Amino acid sequence: MKAKTKTHQRLMAVVLSLIMVLTGSLLVACGGGGTSNSGSSSGGVSGGGGGGVSGGELNVFIWAEYLPDSVVTKFTEETGIKVNVSNYSSNEDLLAKVQSSNEGIYDVVVPSDYMVKMMAEEGLLEELDKDSLPNLSNLDTSFLDPSFDPGNTYSLPYMGGVAMIVYNKNVVTEPITGYEQLFDPQYANSIVALDDFRAVIGMTAKSLGYSLNTTDDAELAQVATRLEELKPNVRLLDSDSPKSAMLSGETSIGYMWNAEVAICQEEDDSFEAVFPSEGCYLFLDNLSVLKGAKNRENALKFINFILEPEVSKMISEEFPYLNPNKAAVALLPDSYRDNPVSNVPAEVIAKGEYVQDLGADVVKYDELWTEFTR
């Protein structure tokens, strides 16, 4: 009897440790929104020199798959500053992490357009000292003075892009030109879209000719009906790597970020890229310094370093997004410059729209999304 109780206890110990392991993985899921390569894993890269080299430290908090290791190593070699990189996979993760951590844990962050505005309004960002950023002049002025941060008080553009359509022309015979066709019943169960409610609802609103930031109830009622038509066509929602579903043939139409489309096309020439005629969802990610940053000087040095044409070129070579650094674009090969999918044309940008924070009206979008993904 006694022996059995002991086995019992030992088993329960096993069960308990199992629970701990599972809870751990759940936490990873929370941090990364379901990704395996992101989350709040920190301390990823620390530059070569490291050790006792005097330059001090710098803590960078940036999107996963956005900052090449080679750039970090180069910065450390040149300045002796040790860089600690941590990653996030959504603007909301970034905001939550910054708000819940002690001031000064991170120095440089890379929020997108609307998140710059939100963070600035929350008083989380430091004003940028432009005098210590001479490389500012390398930036294309059309990306400066944006509506979300007038005068670039708190942020400077890092990389940008659009959400766009890609399709497999071996499967989809009729050419696709806009969002309109994604609602066609003939494409049942064949679309992969970003798992992002602003992107999908915004796209649906745009297909009806409305703004992707509409909060008008009558317009949103039409959007709701339209989403019901889209639903049977969507096979998969995935923000982490939507290109995989296209490349594996799981889906024949995709709605995803331009760099993902560019990679699709590099891998397989049966993919056609489309800037939807109704206008694109634009995004611009920006370098900012957090309020209370412990290494303010180093942060500015880092931002200035990123704005160097050579460095910016290295980033674009690895992650082919739209590069707002015109001096870097001049250095990049024709394969980048002449590829509209990476180097998105100015007229597409002019026609596009940024996402804005909707305030309390975000509830309306959330309700639409709950209905859509039910």
Partner 1 sequence: MASRSAPTSLRKRIRRKTPLLTMVSPVTVWMVILIAVPLAYVLLISFCSTDESHHIVFAFSVQNYVKLFDPTLLSIYGNSLLIAGLSCLISILVGYPFATIMANSSPFKRTLMMAFLMLPFWTNSLIRLYGWRSILGSNGFINSVLQELGLITQPLELLYNHFAVVLGMVYVLLPFMVLPIYTVILKLDHSLLEAASDLGARPARRFFKVTLPLTSSGIFAGSIMVFIPALGYFFVSNLMGGGTTQLIGNVIARQFKEAFNWPFGAALSIILILITLILVRAYTKTGGKMDDLGAM
Binding-site ranges for partner 1 (CB under 8 A): 4, 7-8, 11-12, 14-16, 18-19, 21-22, 25-26, 28-30, 33-36, 90, 92-93, 96, 118, 121-122, 189, 195-198, 231, 234-238, 248-250, 359-360, 362-363, 365-367, 369-371, 373-374
Beta bridge pairs of residue 62? 87
Pick from 308, 314, 349: which is nearest to 138 by CA?
Answer: 308
| CB of 193 or CB of 282, closer to partner 1 | 193
| CB of 122 or CB of 129, closer to partner 1 | 122
| CB of 84 or CB of 239, closer to partner 1 | 239
Q: Enter the tokens of residue 95.
A: 């905001």
Mention every residue, 6+ apart, whose C-beta is less than 8 A from residue 257.
Answer: 161, 162, 163, 164, 194, 283, 321
Mention every residue, 6+ apart, whose C-beta is less than 8 A from residue 361.
Answer: 215
Considering the complex, what minimum distance in angstroms separates the CB of residue 4 from partner 1?
6
Task: Say whether 250 sits in a helix, a strand or coil.
Answer: coil
Considering the complex, what minimum distance in angstroms separates the CB of residue 66 from partner 1?
19
DSSP letters for 6-44: HHHHHHHHHHHHHHHHHHHHHHHHHHHTT-SS-TT----
| CB of 40 or CB of 46, closer to partner 1 | 40
Considering the complex, what minimum distance in angstroms separates the CB of residue 49 from partner 1?
32
Backbone angles phi, psi at 67, to 5 degrees: -130, 110
| CB of 250 or CB of 268, closer to partner 1 | 250
| CB of 182 or CB of 314, closer to partner 1 | 182
Segments in the chain forming alpha helices (H):
2-32, 69-79, 91-100, 113-121, 197-207, 217-230, 242-247, 258-267, 296-306, 309-318, 326-331, 334-337, 346-351, 362-372
| CB of 21 or CB of 350, closer to partner 1 | 21
Considering the complex, what minimum distance in angstroms separates the CB of residue 148 from partner 1?
15
Backbone angles phi, psi at 171, to 5 degrees: -105, -45
Considering the complex, what minimum distance in angstroms separates the CB of residue 232 from partner 1?
10
Q: Are strands 271-274 and 156-168 parallel, antiparallel or unpaired?
A: antiparallel
Residues written for the chain: 374
Considering the complex, what minimum distance in angstroms separates the CB of residue 91 from partner 1?
9
* Residue bearing tokens 């560019």: 262
Considering the complex, what minimum distance in angstroms separates the CB of residue 241 from partner 1?
10
